[in-house]
Amino acid sequence: MKLPGLRQLTAFCLLWTASVQAEPLRLYIDADFSHGTQAADAIELGVRTALAESGNEVDGHSIEVRPIDHRGNVKRSLRTLQTYGSDPNALAVIGGVNSPPYLTNRRLINEEGWLMLLPWSAAGPITRSPESRENWIFRLSIDDTKSADFFVRRAIEVHDCKAPGLLLVDTGWGRVNRIALLERFSARSDMVPQVWTFPAAVGEAEAARIAGEIGAAGRDCLIMLASDNNGSLLVREMFRQNVSPRILSHWGITAGDFEKTVAHEIREEMRIEVLQTCALTAEQIRTVKVKRVLALAGQDQGGFQSLSDVPAMTGFVHAYDITRIFLAATGQAMQSPNWADADIHAKRRAVRGALENLQTPVDGILKTYRRPFRPFSQADADAHEALGGDDLCVAAYSASGHLVLPVAERGARPGQ
Amino acid sequence: MKTRITIYHVFWMLLSGVFLFAVLSSAAAVWLTSRPYLVQSQRDAAEILVEREAARLDQRIEPVTSLSVYIASEPQLISFVMGNTISIDRTLDRLDDLSLPVGLRQIYFFDYSADVIARYDAPIRPDALGAPRRERLDAQAGRLAERVLGTGMQQSSWMAAEARGTVEQGQIMIAVPVLNGGLPEGAVVAVADITPGTDGPGAARMGALFKIVDSTSSEAASADHRVQLAVPGLTMVLRTDPSLISRIGQELISSTVLAVALALFLPFAAFGWAGRHTILKPHADLEASRNKLRAQQKELTELASIARKAEEAILITDMEEKIVWSNPAFSRMTGYRSDELIGKKPGALLQGPNTDQREVDQIRIALESTEPVRVELVNYSKLGFPYWARISIAPLFDEQNNPYGYMSISSDVSERKAQETRLREAREAIEHQALHDELTGLANRRRFNAVFEKRSLFHGAAAIAVIRIDLDHFKNVNDTMGHEAGDHVLCEVARILREEVREKDLAVRVGGDEFIILLEPGADIKRACFVAETIRARITSPIPYDGKLIQTGASFGIACSGCGLVDAPDLVRAADSALYAAKSAGRNQLAVYDEQLHRSAIETRDTAELIRLGLGRGEFVPYYQPQFDAGTRKISGVEVLARWKQPDKGLLTPAAFLDVAEQLSLLNELDRMVTEKALDDIKILEHAGLAPPKISFNVTADRIADPELVAMVSRQDLRQTRISFEILESVFLDDRPEYLDFALDLIRDQGLLLEIDDFGSGHASMISLMQVNPDVLKIDQRLVLGAPDSDVCRDMVRSIIDISRSLGIAVTAEGVETPEHADLMMEMGCNTLQGYHFAEPLSFEELSDFLRAGHSEMVDNSSEGAAGAQ
């Protein structure tokens, strides 16, 4: 029997497929563009800079960026992830500075096969998925399992803290770090730091109360995990109450306008150190590379002379580096003959496989990454971590508000 | 009935109308002047009310708002909303610890996408909401949350309850954003029950209804009174009752009308009172006087009209009795024209020779004393014809009660007078007929009774004498010469009586040929005898009639109260006794009720008394005279004979009491007593085996016709003794009563026997005998007694026996006193013999003995016969 419509139908399907093929691949950015604008913008800048270097394409496939603001709201983040999940051209999501969305949604991410690249969020469990057989989350940032030891070591060994305290945001990120920090203190000393937690939306009254308690407790060092706004509030409140322990802050405060809301005199009084990866150090070593990247990144920003000029520098550096790795992995995945016919789920899977088995080194700002990720297993808990404890440094605020290497650290790599 | 409008009506209606107008115009003025004020007052009051109510509501809502804001800013909640924490328990626990605002029902918690992520139900709620309303509440809270998330601003909403009364109730929702870093990431929506206006008495007074509406709604825009609530988006409006002004106006008018009415009442009442006395009363008096005059005129006119048309003749005179006016009827009655009458005196014109002067005097006396009078007298017309006039004359008085004339109303009553005369004559004739004998014209018994009673009562002192007259054999005159001759004789006797008595004597025909003359009071026995003798002598003279002479006579009984024997009431009976004595003495003579007659009468009276006593005591008893078969000389029966067992006089035969008992009509009772006892005796004899074959009773014609007698005899269950009744032959002599044949047939039907008693003493026809068909003839004992010595008697006995035989009737001979009598009668063919030869009348005991002896004898004879034969 002759089917006269079959030919037309086949032609339609081919045309449709071609049109789909013509669609650019998308890279979502799920970040808090409302409250952590600097961090989000820095990440986006890093991503776009990396993409720009490769002409916004991979092996002839154009790639576009779609940033979506989750406003620090876990549920908004989930909505973004769901949007990504249903987008037939979206390969991966670049995460923001906030860890809670990914801690909360980790299980769903891994179950749904959503490819997640985290340039800044630091909660340790995110990239470790005990409940899931597959792990779809890759990180190029500080891992709190490493940062906790870094903080404890620095407090004890560098600053000789005698009465440490922990000031932690009451989120999943804070709670994970609390456990890790206490564990590390317990491992390295007999000190049991006193712990204060505060809600993410802590108000002035609560901040005053906590500051009062800290003052009354007489802490000489305070390891603080906070966002820029609540960190700013707490620091100012402590300063107001003449409570001025040395503050070793996680980099959460660098995601916003901390340097603007907390005056330099306060920053100096509180002797604030901010956990960083060692970009600033790397800048000193990889001068050419960094300058080239900064030139590219600063085209629309009026130009950057140094990394310190880049707001939320950490996000920019990490986002640039992980985007570079993603592009390399995508390019590697595209080499597969099945790529063209694969659906988005298969493509994500292919990219994920390429990430875990990257064949070529990737030249980033922080370093040159040689197979940064490996297939995850409980035995290789750091398989999806591109950085390690050796990659951690601290920074301090300059009078102009830029993060700079502490005076004592300049010219030397951490641990060196 | 149509009510006449008077000056009173007009006055009071005008006064009431003015009063009403004053009150109403005052009310209208008050209403017109006060209405703008009322409207403004209501507006002001409403403004104040709505502002106050809004403030009150704000005060109620404020804690809810504060709580919502507080909760929304609660860091734990923000963390929960942001997804940083997975539990809201701490927030909810904190709510439990708080003192929640009054009316708080629920708190919803929404995330950034307006999905409910938690809900808190207040532990104490006024009531449970129904599921539909709950769904509405949820949906509305969700919409509110969307608005909050969209704007980042606090929102509020109102959800009115379904109609629960005049004041709106419902739930207010306060939605507060949950801000994170100044951006809405969630919402808290608190729901509280709110009742606007519940404590607003002013609202009730104004009939107002509070309502909470969306500030952007058209209802809010169009409301007269509205206040923006403290919570955003809601406006309280006050819907005033449109009819309130009218109601207040009505109340105001009512109050005004009442006040004005009260204020005006006294002046108006005073005016009314004064007006009544100064205006109404004089006017009313004048009006009354006019009305009275009018009424009088009308009355006079009507009276004149009536008088002119009246059938009665009306005449008006002045005080000098001169005619001043007369009506046409008067002219018609008298024949005088009106103009002829003016100035004349009525008496001179109308009275004549037959005018009763007494009536004229009566009129004169009345006129002199100005009293009304009514008379009937004979007047004369102009042509001289007399007529009876009934005249009513009344004096006429003026208003001062002074007489100014007389009015006479008269009518011609000649016809009535004539009719009265005729009626009186007719009545007199009837009375005369009632009291007089039609044939003779003498007074009748009725008149006699009346006069006698009257004289007995009113002339007790004067002696009364009565003559009782009975014509002798007058029946023969009737029988032989006819009733006309009899009537002629009666009329002649009446004429003699009428001629021989004085004026004050009263001659009376009391019936048939019986007359009485009641002599005038004071008449003595001597005059009575004289009068009676004179009359007797004249009656005895032959009376010519139809060419023949009729000889008659009369018997006279005279009694007189002056004799001292009887009192007046007993005179007629005494005269009867005397008459009976005269007749008994041979007729055509006088008898005076003297000592002897008086004694006889007393004796009869005593006997009568004893008979009554004897009947009561059962002193009358049967005696039995046996009867014997002439051939065998055996007892064939007994005849019952009455006897009186008088305790003082012993055993008396009927001759001693029968006449008196008959006069007293006690015969039947006496017979009944004797018959009953005899029947009882016979039953005793039957039981004793001694019963006679027959028992016979003597009965009168009246007695035998008594159905009770036959019934009584029939009730007896006599097996051996037959019952027979004996009747006197004389019964069949005269015209026997019709009932007798019926009674005899009844006796026959009952199987009773019949006997003719004393046969041969009278002249009973044989034909009558044959009709009666008796069983037995009893030959008069006078014939039996005379038979041995008299051929006539013997022949008569023989003839009787021959006839009886030919008719098949048995013959009984009474009075068989000797063996000779017995033998002769037996030889002549008598069947039964009765008499002293065999046995005298026996008492029951004697009869029992006699029968027992005869029975023994019979038994003995039978034994001897039987023995001899042997």
> Model confidence over A350-393: pLDDT tens digits?
999 999 999 999 999 999 999 999 999 888 889 999 998 888 88
Amino acid A193: pLDDT: 94
Q: What is the mean pLDDT of residues B688-704?
A: 87
The CA distance from B187 to the nearest CA of chain A, in Å, is 14
Amino acid B736: pLDDT: 60
Report the residue of chain A nearest B83, measured CA to CA: A74
Q: Which two tokens stand for residue B755?
A: 């006997």
Q: State whether A201 and B78 contact (CB < 8 Å).
A: yes
Report the residue of chain B nearest A99, measured CA to CA: B84
Question: What is the rounded distance in angstroms from the CA atom of residue A171 to the CA atom of residue A99?
Answer: 9
Amino acid B517: pLDDT: 94
Provide the 3-class DSSP secondary structure of residue B213: strand
pLDDT at B163 over 70: no
The CA distance from A100 to the nearest CA of chain B, in Å, is 6
Residue with tokens 């009748």: B444
Sheet holding B209-214, edge to edge: B209-214, B234-239, B225-228
Q: Which two tokens stand for residue B247?
A: 């109601």
Chain segment B374-406, per-residue pLDDT in tens: 999 999 998 889 999 999 999 998 878 888 899
Q: State whether B183 and A35 contact (CB < 8 Å).
A: yes
Chain segment A109-122, per-residue pLDDT in tens: 999 999 999 998 88
> Is some CB atom of chain B closer than 8 A to the CB atom of A203?
yes
Residues of A in contact with B183 (CB under 8 A): 34-35, 71
pLDDT at B604 over 90: no
Q: Which two tokens stand for residue A170?
A: 């009451």
Report the residue of chain A nearest B115, measured CA to CA: A75
> Is some CB atom of chain A closer than 8 A to the CB atom of B83?
yes
Return the half-sphere exposure (C-beta side, CA atoms, 13 A cut-off) of residue A234: 32
- Backbone torsion region of residue B165, taken as left when φ is above 0, otherwise alpha when ψ lies between -120 and 50, otherwise beta: left
Q: Are strands A362-363 and B170-180 parallel, antiparallel or unpaired?
A: unpaired
User: Angle at the Cα of B664 (from B660 to B668), degrees rounded to 5?
Assistant: 100
Residues whose CB falls within 8 Å of the CB of residue A117, separated by 6 or more in sequence, listed in order: A92, A93, A94, A95, A138, A139, A140, A322, A323, A326
Provide the 3-class DSSP secondary structure of residue A276: strand
The CA distance from A359 to the nearest CA of chain B, in Å, is 38
Q: State whether A200 and B76 contact (CB < 8 Å).
A: no
Amino acid A132: pLDDT: 55
Amino acid A246: pLDDT: 94
- A60-74, B73-87, B331-345, B842-856 — which one is most confidently predicted on average? A60-74
Q: Which of B71, B73, B77, B84 to mutate to test the interface with A (most CBs of A within 10 A)?
A: B84
The CA distance from A35 to the nearest CA of chain B, in Å, is 6
Q: Can you say whether the dihedral through the CA atoms of A327, A332, A334, A338 is positive or negative?
A: negative
DSSP assignment letter at B255: H
Q: Are strands B832-833 and B620-629 parallel, antiparallel or unpaired?
A: antiparallel
Question: What is the rounded distance in angstroms from the CA atom of residue B91 to the CA atom of residue B107?
Answer: 11
Q: State whether A72 and B73 contact (CB < 8 Å).
A: no
Q: State whether A75 and B113 contact (CB < 8 Å).
A: yes
Chain segment B450-496, per-residue pLDDT in tens: 888 888 877 666 788 999 999 988 888 888 888 899 999 999 999 99
Shortest CB distance from B79 goes to which of A71, A75, A200? A200
> Is some CB atom of chain A closer than 8 A to the CB atom of B188?
no
- The residue count of chain B comes to 870
Ordered mean pLDDT values, 10 residues apiece, chain A (416 residues): 45 46 86 89 94 93 95 92 96 92 91 94 84 84 86 93 94 86 92 92 91 94 92 94 93 84 91 88 82 87 83 90 96 92 94 95 92 91 90 89 75 38
Q: State whether A200 and B180 contact (CB < 8 Å).
A: yes
CB neighbourhood size of A143 (10 A): 27
Q: Are B572 and B605 in contact (CB under 8 A)?
A: no
Q: Which two tokens stand for residue A185?
A: 């203190």
Q: Are B90 and B48 in contact (CB under 8 A)?
A: no
> Is some CB atom of chain A closer than 8 A to the CB atom of B714?
no
pLDDT at B164 over 60: no
Q: How far is CA B408 from CA A360, B325, B347, in A?
A: 172, 10, 12
Q: Are B105 and B171 in contact (CB under 8 A)?
A: yes
Amino acid B863: pLDDT: 34
Report the residue of chain A nearest B182, measured CA to CA: A35
Question: What stretch of H or E contains A260?
Answer: helix A258-261
Residues of B in contact with A73 (CB under 8 A): 81-83, 112, 180, 185
Residues of A in contact with B89 (CB under 8 A): none
Chain segment B18-61, per-residue pLDDT in tens: 888 888 888 788 778 877 877 777 778 778 877 888 888 888 88
DSSP states along B614-632: HHHHT-EEEEEEEEEETTT
Q: State whether A203 and B73 contact (CB < 8 Å).
A: yes
Q: How far is CA A11 from CA A4, A20, A254, in A?
A: 12, 14, 54
Q: Are B746 and B717 in contact (CB under 8 A)?
A: no
Residues of B in contact with A34 (CB under 8 A): 181, 183
- φ, ψ at B811 (rounded to 5°): -125, 135
Q: State whether B183 and A100 contact (CB < 8 Å).
A: no
The CA distance from A232 to the nearest CA of chain B, in Å, is 13
Chain segment B197-255, per-residue pLDDT in tens: 545 555 555 556 677 888 888 888 887 778 888 888 888 887 766 676 677 777 777 87
Residues of A in contact with B85 (CB under 8 A): 170-171
Chain segment B571-600, per-residue pLDDT in tens: 888 998 899 889 888 889 999 998 888 888
Amino acid B244: pLDDT: 67
Q: At B102, is the pLDDT very low, low, confident or very high (cuts 50, 70, 90)?
A: confident
Q: How far is CA A118 from CA A127, B509, B527, in A?
A: 9, 176, 190
Amino acid A5: pLDDT: 47
Question: What is the rounded distance in angstroms from the CA atom of residue B407 to the CA atom of residue B304?
Answer: 13
Which amino acid is residue B740, in one-letter code?
A: L
- A117 pairs with which residues across the strands? A94, A138
Question: What stretch of H or E contains A273?
Answer: strand A273-277
3-state helix, strand, coil in chain A (%, to 5): 50, 15, 35
Amino acid A32: pLDDT: 92
Q: Which of B857, B824, B855, B849 lies closest to B624, judged by CA?
A: B849
Residues of A in contact with B113 (CB under 8 A): 75, 79
Q: Are A166 and A223 in contact (CB under 8 A)?
A: yes
Q: State whether B81 and A73 contact (CB < 8 Å).
A: yes
- Backbone torsion region of residue B834, taken as left when φ is above 0, otherwise alpha when ψ lies between -120 and 50, otherwise beta: beta
Question: What is the rounded distance in angstroms from the CA atom of residue A139 to the CA atom of residue A147?
Answer: 14
Q: E-assigned strands of B597-667?
A: 620-629, 635-646, 650-652
Task: Please tell me whether the interface predicted TM-score (ipTM) of this complex is above 0.85.
Answer: no
Provide the 3-class DSSP secondary structure of residue B557: strand
Question: What is the rounded distance in angstroms from the CA atom of residue B550 to the CA atom of residue B552?
Answer: 6
> Is some CB atom of chain A closer than 8 A to the CB atom of B152?
no
> Is some CB atom of chain A closer than 8 A to the CB atom of B180?
yes
Provide the 3-class DSSP secondary structure of residue B199: coil
